[in-house]
Structure formats: C-alpha cells, structure tokens
C-alpha cells in the first residue's frame, strides 16, 4: 500500500515538472521601445505634452506588437515601429532630428539580428527618410556592416529607399533648440543653471526598439539625429554595433540612448549581453550593472531597453526619465516617462 502511494506521488510530481517545463518553454513574444532618456522632469512638462508622448508611445508599440502577434518577424516589428517614431517630430530621429552646429542634419542608425548576428549601420546621412531601413539594407544587401556620409546616402538611393530633401527634417523646435544651445555655448562659464539644464535636455531623444518573435528570434534597432550642435561629423553610440545596439538569441536584444561617448566607452549593449552570457546575470541585473556602475561610474548618463529570449525585459536608466513602453504577448501595455514611475 505504502509503495502504491509513493508511486502515485512520484508520477504526479513528474507530471507537474513536465508541465512547468512545457509552460516555461511555450513560445512567447514581446516588444519594448524607447524615445530617449535625459533630464525629463514633471516640472518641465505640461499635461498636454505628457499625454501626447504617452499616447504616441502606445500607438507606436502597437504597430510592432500587431506584427509579432500575427507571427511576423522581430526584424519587421523593429523596423516598422521605428518608422512610426522616425515620422514623428516628437523624437530625435528622422523627421524630428536635431541639428548640427552647421545647421545640417546627420542621421545615424543601426540594426542587429539575434539569430544570425548579422548587423547593419549607417552614420552621418542627410537624405534618407527612414535611416533604420538603410541600416537593414546595409545588412542585407551589401557586404559591409557600416556605411557613412554621402556614400551611405547614395547606397540607400540605389536600393530604392525613400529619399527626401534636407528641408524635410528642419522643424522649428530643433532650429530654436540649436539657437539656444549656441547662445549658451557662447557664454561659456557664465551659463545659468536653467540654460545648463536646457542644453543637457537637447542631447537626447534617440529612438529604439527591441523585439522577440514567436520563433524565438530577437532583434534590436536604434535611430537618431545624435546631439544638438554636434561638430566635425561627430558620431555617437547609436550606429555602433555593441555600443548602442546589440542582439543575440542566446542572451538579449538591447537598444541604448544617452550620452553617446560614454556608451561607446562602456560598450553598453554588448556588455549587457556578455554579463548574461558569461556570468549568468538576468537581463535586469545586467542592464542595472552596466548603466549604473559602468556608464554612471565614468560620469555618463542615459538608459537602455532590452528583452531576453524568454520575453523578460529591462528598462533601465540613470537619468530622471526615459520615454519608454513595453507590450507583452497578452497585450498588456506599460508606458512610462519618469524614472520613479
Ligand atoms: N546616444 C545618442 C548619441 O550620442 C543620443 C541619444 O541617445 O539621444 O548620439
């Protein structure tokens, strides 16, 4: 009798274990976006502006979510979601890109595929409506990983991507921002704390998207105009694979935003993946370590969004805010702006 009871106990235990394993391996999907990190404070935000950002983030992520839900690829979800953000003047990417010191536009973008570790990037382009698509074209239709300047513009045109006049990108908001940043710069050390805050706010606003599709493939993309008043063809982290963007099916997909120089020096996106791969950290632990200990330790600031191969996500920053949203397979939407939300 005792033996029979024990047998039943072990059979039910192993059934339960099988169920748990099956549940944890059930295909899932998810998507996370950011619209830049920085000195985003409640005190500087009207309720209308805040509502506009929240609404927009919710609408943009829905585009990628619908693709994933129908069984589409993480690559398509990332590209189409970033298109929506590149079309908006709210963010520092595509249409809303910031201006250089020469009052021109220089756009950077990159994309990486987690299954193949294929990657593509462009930097310093001036005429491509959707830089993220140019990065993907470099990955798919050239033997290279990164193209820059006029050559990258010409490549995108030869691939049939949409080309626009430079004027397309000039928005009043960015023209005014450049003027104010230049005025503050001219004052050098006599700059007031309000001006200092304004200048630091103009640094950011990049957009990024990471996604996990039903096949278990991860993808990451980042697109930006860089930093207001940038000079000498300065290039930030956004188009640098391993710094601003990284994806690996074995670990995670990451897109970064922040003070690019520090993100390049900390090799942020790859470092998060490496901490997961070599030290077994969770995506949250790895993102926290890199943003706070490494970037923060050097004196830099910004944030990342990430998703791992199980759909766990990280939205980590050491700035007062980061425009961000996450949508899981069940369609639960989580939109946040401030760090303390
Ligand atoms: N990381 C970008 C750069 O340094 C700026 C940003 O994230 O907004 O160009």
pLDDT at position 21, please? Answer: 43
Q: What is the residue with the minimal CA distance to atom 6 of ligand 1? A: 204
36-55 pLDDT, tens per residue? 998 888 888 899 999 999 99
Tell me how far apart the terminal alpha carbons of the chain are, to the nearest angstrom: 57
Q: What is the residue with the minimal CA distance to atom 4 of ligand 1? A: 260
128 CA to centre of ligand 1 in angstroms:
18
115 CA to centre of ligand 1 in angstroms:
26
174-194 pLDDT, tens per residue? 988 898 888 887 776 676 677
Q: What is the residue with the minimal CA distance to atom 8 of ligand 1? A: 204
Point out the catalytic residue in the list 73, 100, 206, 257: 206
pLDDT at position 203, please? Answer: 66
Q: Which long-range contacts (C-beta less than 8 Å, at least 24 apart) are formed by 160-166?
A: 161/128, 161/129, 161/130, 161/133, 161/134, 161/137, 162/128, 162/129, 162/130, 163/127, 163/128, 163/129, 164/127, 164/128, 164/129, 165/127, 166/104, 166/105, 166/126, 166/127
Active site residue 206: yes
Q: Does 24 have pLDDT greater than 80?
A: no
103-156 pLDDT, tens per residue? 999 999 999 999 999 999 999 999 999 999 999 999 999 999 999 999 999 999
Count Cβ neighbours within 10 Å for each residue of 131-157 and write b for 16 or more, e otherwise.
Answer: bbbbbbbbbeeeeebbbbeeebbebbe
101 CA to centre of ligand 1 in angstroms:
16
Window from 89-98, 121-130, 191-200 with minimum mean pLDDT: 191-200
pLDDT above 70 covers a percentage of the chain that reads 88
Question: What is the length of the chain?
Answer: 341
Among 33, 98, 204, residue to substitute to test ligand 1 (most atoms within 8 Å of Cβ): 204
Look at residue 60 and give its three-state secondary structure.
helix
pLDDT at position 119, please? Answer: 98
Q: DSSP readout, 93-161?
A: SGGGPPPPTTS---EEEEEEETTT--EEEEEEESSBS-HHHHHHHHHHHSS-SEEEHHHHHHHHHHTT-
pLDDT at position 44, please? Answer: 86
213 CA to centre of ligand 1 in angstroms:
27
Which of the four CATH numbers 3.60.20.30, 3.40.50.11810, 3.30.110.30, 3.40.50.150 does domain 27-338 have? Answer: 3.60.20.30
pLDDT at position 15, please? Answer: 45
pLDDT tier at 199, thresholds 50, 70, 90: low
- Pocket lined around ligand 1, Cβ cut-off 6 Å: 36, 92, 204-206, 224, 226-227, 236-238, 257-258, 260, 263
Position in ligand 1 atom list of the atom nearest CA 108: 9
Mean per-residue pLDDT over the chain, rounded: 91
Q: What is the CA radius of gyration of the chain?
A: 21
The three-state DSSP-derived secondary structure of 142-177 is: CCCCEEEHHHHHHHHHHCCCCECCHHHHCCHHHHHH
Q: Does 265 have pLDDT greater than 80?
A: yes
> Which position has the higher pLDDT, 93 or 203?
93
Six token digits for residue 332: 């639960």
Distance CA 320, CA 287 (A): 17
pLDDT at position 177, please? Answer: 86
Q: How many Cβ atoms are within 10 Å of 102's Cβ, its own excluded?
A: 13
Domain ranges for the chain, please list them: 27-338
E-state strands within the chain:
30-38, 107-113, 119-125, 146-148, 207-212, 218-224, 245-247, 252-258, 302-308, 313-317, 321-328, 333-338
Distance CA 36, CA 260 (A): 12
Position in ligand 1 atom list of the atom nearest CA 302: 7
């Amino acid at each position: 009798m005792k033996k029979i009871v024990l047998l039943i106990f072990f059979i039910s235990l192993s059934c339960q274990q099988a169920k748990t394993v099956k549940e944890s391996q059930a295909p899932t999907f998810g998507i996370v976006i950011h619209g830049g990190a920085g000195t985003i404070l409640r005190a500087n935000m009207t309720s209308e502006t805040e509502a506009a950002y929240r609404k927009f983030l919710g609408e943009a992520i829905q585009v990628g979510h619908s693709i994933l839900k129908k069984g589409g690829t993480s690559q398509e979800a990332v590209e189409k979601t970033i298109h929506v953000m590149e079309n908006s003047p709210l963010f520092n990417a595509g249409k809303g890109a910031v201006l250089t010191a020469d009052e021109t536009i220089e756009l950077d973008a990159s994309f990486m595929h987690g299954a193949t570790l294929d990657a593509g990037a462009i930097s310093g382009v001036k005429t491509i409506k959707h830089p993220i698509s140019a990065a993907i074209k470099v990955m798919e239709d050239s033997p290279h990983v990164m193209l820059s300047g006029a050559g990258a513009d010409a490549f995108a045109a030869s691939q049939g991507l949409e080309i626009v006049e430079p004027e397309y990108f000039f928005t009043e908001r960015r023209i005014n921002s450049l003027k104010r940043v230049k005025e503050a710069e001219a004052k050098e050390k006599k700059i007031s704390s309000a001006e200092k805050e304004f200048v630091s706010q103009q640094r950011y606003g990049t957009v990024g998207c990471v996604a996990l599709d039903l096949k278990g493939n991860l993808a990451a993309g980042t697109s930006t105009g860089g930093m207001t008043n940038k000079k000498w063809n300065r290039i930030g982290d956004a188009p640098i694979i391993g710094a601003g963007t990284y994806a690996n099916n074995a670990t995670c997909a990451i897109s970064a935003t922040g003070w690019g120089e520090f993100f390049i020096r900390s090799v942020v996106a790859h470092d998060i993946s490496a901490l997961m791969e070599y030290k077994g950290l969770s995506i949250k632990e790895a993102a926290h370590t890199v943003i706070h200990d490494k970037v923060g330790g050097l004196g830099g600031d910004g944030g990342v969004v990430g998703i791992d191969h199980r759909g766990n996500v990280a939205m980590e920053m050491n700035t007062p805010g980061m425009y961000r949203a996450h949508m899981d397979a069940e369609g639960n939407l989580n939109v946040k702006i401030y760090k303390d939300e």
